[in-house]
Amino acid sequence: MMRLLTRSWFDTPALTRSRVRTAYVVAGVTDVLQLVLGPFGWTFADQALDVIAMAVESRLIGFHPLLLPTFVLEFVPLTDMLPSWTGCVALVVALRKRETTPPADGPVIDV
């Protein structure tokens, strides 16, 4: 419990199945709620969801610079109806997996 509280926002946690699954669920729920609440004009609730999603995703999959444009994109009218949090999570998870996966052919020797 104490480790969770002392971890930096910029540390990259290990991508476990449960962390990735939870990140997708949070992103999907956020996107659906924003789609449903959008026509009612509840901008405060929409922006509060963005702040919460940004914080939760940063804790689950680690902060990544791609989270920032997604956060800003949610404030632009009409683009906030896109499933941008889900797309961002998919992209960040793919990039993080590529960073941690060693090449299949072994090291490259340049001659």
Q: Give the pLDDT of the chain (111 residues) as one tens digit per residue.
A: 445 555 565 677 888 999 999 999 999 999 999 888 877 777 778 888 989 999 999 999 999 998 888 888 887 877 777 889 999 999 999 998 888 766 666 666 677
Contact by Cβ (8 Å): 96, 61: yes
Residues 62, 63, 66, 67, CA torsion sign: positive
Q: How many CB atoms lie within 10 A of CB 30?
A: 24
pTM: 0.77
